[in-house]
Chains A and B, each alone.
Chain A
Amino acid sequence: MTKDDPNNEASSESRPTAKKAKGGIDVVEATDDRLVERLRERFGDAIHSAVIMVGQRVVVVAVDSLAEVLTYLKSGDELKFDLLLDVTAVHRPAETPPFELVYQLCSTSTLERVRIKSGIEDGASAQSVTGIWRTANWLERECFDMFGIVFEGHPDLRRILLPEGWEGHPLRKEYPVEFRENRWVADTLNIHALPDDADFSGKVEI
């Protein structure tokens, strides 16, 4: 299938990135892919779409069956995706659902790779995969810290890079990149916003 094919599942399902705008990259339906076939066979409708993008396999999964799919990928018959490289999320406020969880898997024996994605509502929680891969512990904590996505079943879900008591989740799109007054900074570090008539010329003798 070509990138302009309107029947491409990637655009109709919850696959928000693949805007088929001109100049977009080729997104090919993963039709004769063994892994995808097996996933479809086993999970049926829970597999929303499966595409090949820049030579990489991307499978979009319903969030409810995410943990099952990942468990199957890790320990299912011959798959053995034993290395979880990354857990992260993407925030797209304009889409529904607004968040997308992204898992990068790799197999150290077959060296195959796959990216599993899953849309998730703001405020909804995902199943933690710490029971499947121990490495998910910090990665999920970071995801929670940055996006506020709650992982159910995580042994120790708290902020990791930002201090306890910080307000907001910085990688959400509504969080500004500029400095804004912040209660944590004011209380803990005693740093307050400069007054409006502050001299920014840098010509202050110290």
Chain B
Amino acid sequence: MSERRSIGSVLSRLLLVDLFKGLAVTLRYNARALVEARDGADPTQAIYTAQYPKERPLVGERWRGAPKLNNDPRTGESLCIACNICALVCPVDVISVGQANREVRDGEKRKKKKVLTTFEFDTSRCMFCGLCQEQCPTLCLELTQEFELAVESRAGLVWDREMLEKGIHVVTYKK
């Protein structure tokens, strides 16, 4: 490109014009940082830092985070019908659903019904693609907005049914 050769005129080179132009940009930010508010994550402001973990970021509503098995809020029973779709659709075979045929009472009648016994979810291999929650017919399996999944042992990454129903424990810090 031709203009870049004409720019190299002797004077501007001697006076370090290119350097000062660049410095002007950074110094403007420094000056603004002194006067502007310091609450993070506003792109128009000079300071753009969120104070995690004191400030917990609001992740998107559609965030695919920690898995959870939902219970029916009226009865408290699991919404899962042990259909195994989530396990089939998972590309990396993270989920294993345990099921059993149980006799249940439906009013007067007794009938056989497939119920969920165990549910295992290996968060260490999950890639949070969301296919399982998309396919779940009862909206039972959900990827929640929780994102702090670190644990201290490898075994802790495999979540059992109890853990999935309870959800993870989030530590909050004071500001």
Do chains A and B make direct contact within the complex (CB under 8 angstroms)? yes
Cβ of B146 under 8 Å from chain A: no
Cβ of B158 under 8 Å from chain A: yes
Contacts of A202 in B (CB 8 A): 120, 122, 154-155, 157-158
Cβ of B6 under 8 Å from chain A: no
Chain A interface, >50% SS class: loop
Cβ of B153 under 8 Å from chain A: yes
Contacts of B120 in A (CB 8 A): 202
Contacts of A203 in B (CB 8 A): 155, 158
Cβ of A205 under 8 Å from chain B: yes
Proximity string of chain B (117-158) to chain A, C-beta cutoff 8 Å, 1 when within and 0 when not: 000101000000000000000000000000000000111011
Cβ of A206 under 8 Å from chain B: yes
Contacts of A201 in B (CB 8 A): 158
State how many residues of chain B have any CB contact under 8 Å with chain A: 7
CB-CB contacts below 8 Å: B154-168 with A: 154-155, 157-158
- Whether B158 lies near A205 (C-beta < 8 A) is no
- Whether B153 lies near A206 (C-beta < 8 A) is yes
Contacts of B154 in A (CB 8 A): 202, 204, 206
- Whether B122 lies near A205 (C-beta < 8 A) is no
Most B Cβ at <10 Å: residue of A201, A202, A206: A202
The complex places the Cα of A202 from the Cα of B151 at a distance, in Å, of 14
State how many angstroms separate the Cβ of A72 from the closest Cβ of chain B.
Answer: 38
The complex places the Cα of A205 from the Cα of B151 at a distance, in Å, of 12
Contacts of B155 in A (CB 8 A): 202-206
Contacts of B122 in A (CB 8 A): 202
Proximity string of chain A (191-206) to chain B, C-beta cutoff 8 Å, 1 when within and 0 when not: 0000000000111111
Contacts of A205 in B (CB 8 A): 153, 155
Question: 7 closest pairs, A vs B, by CB?
Answer: A202-B158, A206-B153, A203-B155, A206-B154, A202-B155, A204-B155, A205-B155
Chain B interfacial positions (CB closer than 8 Å to A)? 120, 122, 153-155, 157-158
What are 16 A-B residue pairs whose CB atoms fall within 8 Å in the complex?
A201-B158, A202-B120, A202-B122, A202-B154, A202-B155, A202-B157, A202-B158, A203-B155, A203-B158, A204-B154, A204-B155, A205-B153, A205-B155, A206-B153, A206-B154, A206-B155
